[in-house]
Amino acid sequence: MAPDDVLDDADAADPEAAGGGLRVLDSGDAGRAGLPWAWILGLVVLVGGSGAAVWFLREGGLGVAVQQASAPPAADNLLGAAWSFETTDGESPERAWGVPEDAPTGFAFGAAGAVSGEAGAVAAPEDGEWARIAATDSHRLGAARPVVSLQAVAGGDGVQLILRFEGEGHPAVEVVVASGTGAIAGRTPTPPGYTHVRAVIGAVSAGSVDDVVMRELDELAPAPLRRGLFDVVSLDVGLDQGLLVLRGNDLVFQVEGVAIDDGSGRRWPAAVAALPGAGELALPGGGRVQVDGTLSEDGTRIRLQRTFAGLPAEARVFHVARAVGALAAAPVGVGSSGGFETFTDDFQVEGVRTLVLGAGAERLVLGGDGVDVAATWMADGTIEFLVERVGSAKGRGSLSLQTDFQEERVQAAQLRTQAEGEERAGRLGRALATTELILREYPYDEGVLAWARGTRSRLQASMQQRLDAIEADLQDALFLASARRCREVREDCLEAAHTFAESAAEARFQEAAVQVAERARDLLEADRSRRERRVRAVRESFAEAGTYENVVEELDAFLETTLAPDP
């Protein structure tokens, strides 16, 4: 899910604003909240008669406010009176919980979901939809970045417990910490720079929840992994949900979870589909995919690896990432099988090896090893990247994150020196290939990158000029029908192929040499055939005269040797 999907812009700037970006429910919202109440009421009447229907209406089945006497919340429960969805003199679930703006539907409050007290929250999303409610009030966290836990009693294995972290000037970050049936619980550290937390309840299938407890635990979040100017925070809570990359306390990049299109053309946001309690992702069509994630360090790279089991044959798997702030303001460099390009607007590129974000020391590279990438510049100023695994690799996924490029900068400088020497020696093809290598594999130093682009442009222009000149000479030779001129053009082609050896142009020069050689052979054959016809005519005239047998023999020998067809 996009980090800002729940709060609107005004509320994101003030995390303490009540219900920022939420649709607050009242008793009249129950139908919109997702339960087919008319159908349920009809069923109640059929099964239990009018008395049962009266009970259903009076006891809160439609979210009607009913005075309840539930157990008091734990003293350290940050949700206060909103913890068990009861209506009291000072609170009601319709005011304490609201539906996020982007959620298709929410929960209804009534007896059907009760565990303690007489009310709980119940969701019944339609096929292919999902439900959410979020606490209207956010809680200010302690300054020491505590670990936060969320627990509840759930009915239905599609129920999710979600912690939403907020901070002024920061995009919200959501972490699905638990899912499943019965007593479920999960925890996650507070990301650096975030000051508030909000409880969110989700459901990807019919389910209920009650007795929700959110706590600050008596432990501190582990220190982020420092990489150059960046800090990297893992969101691993059983099902790997990615990484946060921060510059100081500012979030600049997020590797989110996985989104899967099961073949229907629909895919849920990564945070919507996550079911960490079972290590699964829910699909819009109703299936489940097993997911396992690991995080490791590979030299200067942090590698995020995921494996999938139970994927439909037609499924498409997308790793979701997002650039924020300064990284979203700079052009995006893309290194692929087609070379290196920069973009400042939406793009789709196949065979991507690297996404280069930022500039100078504040540079970040996402490695994909031949994936397809679609990037979208969002209205909130972020850039969303969908990184798709294709073909046989879709059952597994690996993304690497790199923030330190000292070795690569040294390698790029050495390659530049090598390319300059190759150009001076006249080996323009090798120089061009080395320059392309810099652009494709080592685009990390602005100075070397600018030189490589300029050099590539100059060498490609020289190559094109040579190709144009050879083409003109070839047309001239064909017009003159001169085999000798064709042979001269062929020699020029071979020399150009040697000059641009190891570049894409080498094959083009070789092809031109073959073409002009074939044309020269055709011209020579036409000339030989013409001369042969003339000699044979003379030979026949002497043979008919019958008096110049020696001349006839000499002409026969000439025809068999000098004018014989070239095999």
Question: DSSP letters along 236-279, please?
Answer: ESSSEEEEEEEETTEEEEEEEEEEEE-SSS----HHHHEETTTT
Report CA Rg, the chain.
36
Structure tokens at 457: 């442009």
Start-to-end CA span in the chain (Å): 72
Within 13 Å and on the Cβ side, how many CA atoms surround 166? 32
Closest CA to 188 of 98, 267, 274: 274
Q: To 5 degrees, how large is the angle CA 230–CA 169–CA 377?
A: 75
Rounded to whole angstroms, how far apart are CA atoms 110 and 103?
A: 20
- State how far the Cα of 363 lies from the Cα of 367, in Å rounded to an integer: 13
Sign of CA dihedral 541, 543, 544, 545: positive
Cα(487)–Cα(204) distance, integer angstroms: 74
pLDDT of residue 241: 63
Could you give phi then psi for residue 258, rounded to 5 degrees? -115, 135
Listed residue (325, 338, 202) closest to 273, CA to CA: 202
**Contact call for residues 198 and 134 (beta carbons, < 8 A):** yes
> Which residues is 343 bridged to in the sheet?
332
For 356, residues 6+ apart whose C-beta sits below 8 A from its C-beta are: 332, 333, 334, 335, 363, 364, 365, 443, 444
**Cβ atoms of residues 288 and 278 within 8 Å:** yes
| Predicted structure pTM score | 0.71
> Which residue type does 284 have?
P
Cα(178)–Cα(322) distance, rounded to whole angstroms? 23
Instruction: Tell me the pLDDT tens digit for each residue of 334-393.
Output: 988 777 888 999 999 998 988 999 877 788 888 877 889 999 999 989 999 999 977 656
- How does pLDDT run across 137-166, given as a tens digit for each residue? 999 998 788 899 999 999 999 999 999 999
- Whole-angstrom Cα distance, residue 283 to residue 205? 10
Cβ 208 vs Cβ 39: under 8 Å? no
Q: What token pair was written down for 552?
A: 């006839």
Per-residue pLDDT of the chain (567 residues; tens, 9 = 90+): 433 333 333 343 444 444 445 544 443 344 334 344 333 333 333 334 333 332 332 333 333 333 344 556 778 999 998 999 998 887 799 999 999 999 999 999 999 989 988 899 999 999 889 999 999 999 999 878 889 999 999 999 999 999 999 998 888 999 999 999 999 999 998 988 899 999 999 999 999 999 999 999 988 888 888 877 888 888 766 555 678 898 888 899 998 888 899 888 888 988 899 999 888 999 998 889 988 888 888 777 888 888 888 888 888 889 899 999 889 998 998 988 777 888 999 999 998 988 999 877 788 888 877 889 999 999 989 999 999 977 656 778 788 888 878 888 889 899 999 999 999 998 888 999 899 888 877 877 778 888 998 998 999 898 888 888 888 887 887 777 777 777 788 888 888 888 888 877 788 888 878 877 777 777 766 777 778 788 888 888 888 887 778 888 888 787 777 766 665
| Other CB atoms within 10 A of residue 355 CB | 26
Rounded CA gap, 527 and 524, in Å? 5
> In the structure encoding, which two tokens stand for residue 135, read together?
């606490």
How many H-runs (helices) and E-runs (strands) does the chain carry?
Answer: 11, 27
How far is 303 from 307, CA to CA, in rounded Å?
A: 13
- 385 contacts 320 by C-beta, under 8 angstroms: yes
Angle subtended by helix axes 483-499 and 504-545, to nearest 10: 160
The 10 Å Cβ neighbour count of residue 189 is 23
Taking the C-alpha atoms of residue 435 and residue 419, their distance in angstroms, rounded to an integer, is: 6
Contact (CB, 8 A) for 399 and 379: no
How far apart are alpha carbons 448 and 98 in whole angstroms? 53
| Residue 497: CB atoms within 10 Å | 20
Q: Measured between alpha carbons, how far is residue 347 from residues 255, 266, 341, 376 in Å?
A: 19, 20, 11, 7
